């Protein structure tokens, strides 16, 4: 009976934490969901792939160099788009997945130190300011953050149980996370560390390698078919490309400024909290290692995180918070472990610390939630409605002058494509901003003029050749897909 009561209490508590996670991720949602060029492009590409039954071999280009990500992100968004609903459906699905991550983090904590620790990890994940921000932003780093949580879960399970299935899923999830966004390359350390801390069965090592290899097959096929484009450009970036732009990254700045700030952004609250948790983690871990009392799984996480920490220090590009989303589960588990260890020493101090963390984090969350705006979505809906009301029976083919209005043209296409208002043979319209060029304004029939400074022109009288000559860029879904996924085809 006592066991049933405890299980019931656990279930109620976890349910309340999950409900709180739903509230924090969906309150004021219409102002919080992120929409800009990247999100609109990915929706357009994924929708085109889905409706035309295409299976791309690559994802978008990396911002770091002339190489592409794996296709997993496009495949995932295509699955989201396949669900019935409106434009917001893919964002809502991702936000729901971030709610699910609270449960997975509970399972990670439960595997480490039991149910109560699992609840603590789940609670910190629920209120995490960075987790809230990523949950409403449909970009590949956010999805890499989801996959990394699953990867850490099976990392712990592989070390504890050394089961072949856990080994396969660890390799499979780590490689998928890397393919979604190369920022997560550091997770590759989980593979050798997981094997070294497990029972080190050779069969499980083989299965681990197979799981890690499978997600790279699409990129490998692409590379073999295109004169080793991917591998050649990645090697060029490694040996030469990353040295072309100098970004100062001193150890003192990296460890003493960037990481405390980033840590506090994940937990929420003031930068001082980042210094405290990072410092406390170092002291507690060092003490337990010296005393040979440190938990095997925590040690494996610390070793893995330390290797990624050093690797990022020597990355020569710009590092910002969005590039460490895949490390969120480490930071959240370590923060919970610090509170857990303090609780073992002094319960009152630990409770006070948790209250302070909750207060500072919720204050940061309140500011993030209440000040959020989505002007792009609002203005795009207004523009769409104006075009549809003015031409109720028309389909449109969209052009962008010098590709200078992509933050407007891509969201517009995304919205109108959802309503089957885009067709390559439809009425040609062009988005531009000619406030400084009166001649262009006179030569073209003006359809609409927005108060923010851009215009929509009727291009129906111009041939494709003339539009190309005059630098009007065709941006219909077929062209967006071609330039994103089939650019290498002649």
pLDDT band, residue 440 (cuts 50/70/90): low
pLDDT in tens, 5-36: 557 788 899 999 999 999 999 999 999 999 99
Rounded CA-CA distance 338/285 in Å is: 9
Residue 133, pLDDT > 90, answer yes
Mean pLDDT of 160-165: 95
User: Is residue 302 classed exposed, middle or buried when 0-12, 13-18 and 19+ CB atoms within 10 A define those classes?
Assistant: buried
Phi-psi region of 455 (alpha: psi -120 to 50; beta: other; left: phi over 0): beta
Phi-psi region of 471 (alpha: psi -120 to 50; beta: other; left: phi over 0): left
Q: What is the CA radius of gyration of the chain?
A: 25
pLDDT in tens, 273-318: 999 999 999 999 999 999 999 999 999 999 999 999 999 998 877 7
pLDDT in tens, 40-70: 999 999 999 999 999 999 999 887 778 899 9
Residue 7 confidence (pLDDT)? 74
Residue 364 confidence (pLDDT)? 94
| CA 160 to chain CA centroid, nearest Å | 29
pLDDT-above-90 percentage for the chain: 79
| CA 422 to chain CA centroid, nearest Å | 28
Average pLDDT of the chain to the nearest whole number? 92
Residue 10 confidence (pLDDT)? 86
Q: Find tokens 């080994």 and name the residue.
A: 167
Residue 63 confidence (pLDDT)? 78
Q: Residue 175's CB: how many other CB atoms inside 10 A?
A: 25
Edge to edge, what strands does the sheet with 455-458 contain? Answer: 446-449, 455-458, 427-432, 396-401, 472-474
The domains of the chain are located at 2-370, 375-485
DSSP helix/strand/coil, 485: helix
Rounded CA-CA distance 446/248 in Å is: 48
Rounded CA-CA distance 398/376 in Å is: 18
Q: Find tokens 């780590």 and name the residue.
A: 174
Question: And the tokens for 115?
Answer: 């149910």
Question: And the tokens for 144?
Answer: 């890499």
Rounded CA-CA distance 113/187 in Å is: 23
Least confident of 37-46, 400-409, 429-438: 429-438
Rounded CA-CA distance 363/135 in Å is: 18
Closest CA to 35 of 26, 25, 44: 44
Closest CA to 117 of 371, 310, 335: 335
DSSP 60: P
Q: Residue 465's CB: how many other CB atoms inside 10 A?
A: 8
Residue 442 confidence (pLDDT)? 60
Question: What backbone torsions phi and psi does residue 53 show, to the nearest 5 degrees?
Answer: 55, 45
Rounded CA-CA distance 72/486 in Å is: 16
pLDDT in tens, 65-114: 788 999 999 999 999 999 999 999 999 999 999 999 999 999 999 999 99
By the 8 A CB rule, do 76 and 143 touch?
yes
List, in sequence order, every residue forming a beta bridge with 472; answer none if it has no partner: 401
- The count of C-alpha atoms lying within 13 angstroms of the C-alpha of 296, restricted to the half-sphere facing its C-beta, is 15
Comparing 436 with 120, the larger pLDDT belongs to 120
Length, in residues, of the chain: 490
Residue 4 confidence (pLDDT)? 57
pLDDT band, residue 2 (cuts 50/70/90): low
Question: And the tokens for 378?
Answer: 């609002």
Letter string b/e over residues 212-239, b meaning 16 or more CB atoms within 10 A of that residue's CB: beebeebbeebbeeeeebbeebbeebee
């Amino acid at each position: 009976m006592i066991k049933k009561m405890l299980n019931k209490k656990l279930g109620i508590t976890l349910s309340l934490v999950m409900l709180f996670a739903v509230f924090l991720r969906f309150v004021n949602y219409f102002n919080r969901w992120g929409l800009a060029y990247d999100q609109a492009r990915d929706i357009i590409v994924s929708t085109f792939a889905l409706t035309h039954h295409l299976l791309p071999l690559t994802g978008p280009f990396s911002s770091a160099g002339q190489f592409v990500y794996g296709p997993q992100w496009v495949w995932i968004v295509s699955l989201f788009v396949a669900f019935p609903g409106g434009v917001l459906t893919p964002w809502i699905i991702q936000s729901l997945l971030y709610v699910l991550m609270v449960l997975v983090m509970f399972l990670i904590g439960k595997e480490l130190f039991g149910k109560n620790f699992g609840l603590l990890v789940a609670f910190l994940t629920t209120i995490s300011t960075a987790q809230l921000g990523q949950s409403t932003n449909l970009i590949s780093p956010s999805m890499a953050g989801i996959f990394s949580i699953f990867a850490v879960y099976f990392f712990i399970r592989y070390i504890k149980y050394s089961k072949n299935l856990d080994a396969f899923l660890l390799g499979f999830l780590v490689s998928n996370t890397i393919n979604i966004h190369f920022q997560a390359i550091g997770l590759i350390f989980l593979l050798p560390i997981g094997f070294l801390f497990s029972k080190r069965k050779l069969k499980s090592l083989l299965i681990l390698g197979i799981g890690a290899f499978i997600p790279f097959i699409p990129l490998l096929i692409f590379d073999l078919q295109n004169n080793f484009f991917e591998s050649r450009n990645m090697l060029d970036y490694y040996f030469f490309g990353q040295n072309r732009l100098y970004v100062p990254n001193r150890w003192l700045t990296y460890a003493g400024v960037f990481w405390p700030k980033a840590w506090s952004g994940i937990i929420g609250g003031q930068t001082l909290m980042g210094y405290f948790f990072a410092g406390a983690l170092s002291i507690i871990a060092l003490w337990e290692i010296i005393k040979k009392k440190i938990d095997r799984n925590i040690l494996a996480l610390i070793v893995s995180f330390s290797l990624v920490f050093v690797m990022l220090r020597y990355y020569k590009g710009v590092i910002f918070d969005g590039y460490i989303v895949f490390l969120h589960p480490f930071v959240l588990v370590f923060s919970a472990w610090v509170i857990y260890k303090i609780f073992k020493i002094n319960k009152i101090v630990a409770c006070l610390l948790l209250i302070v963390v909750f207060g500072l984090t919720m204050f940061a969350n309140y500011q993030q939630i209440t000040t959020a705006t989505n002007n792009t979505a609002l203005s795009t809906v207004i523009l769409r409605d104006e075009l549809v009301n003015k031409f109720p029976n028309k389909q449109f083919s969209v052009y962008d002058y010098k590709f200078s209005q992509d933050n407007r043209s891509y969201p517009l296409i995304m919205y109108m494509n959802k309503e089957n208002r885009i067709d390559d043979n439809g009425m040609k319209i062009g988005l531009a901003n000619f406030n400084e060029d009166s001649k262009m304004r006179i030569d073209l029939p003006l359809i609409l003029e927005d108060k923010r400074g851009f215009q929509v022109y009727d291009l129906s009288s111009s041939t494709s050749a003339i539009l190309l000559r005059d630098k009007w860029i065709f941006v219909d879904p077929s062209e967006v897909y071609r330039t994103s996924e089939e650019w290498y085809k002649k």
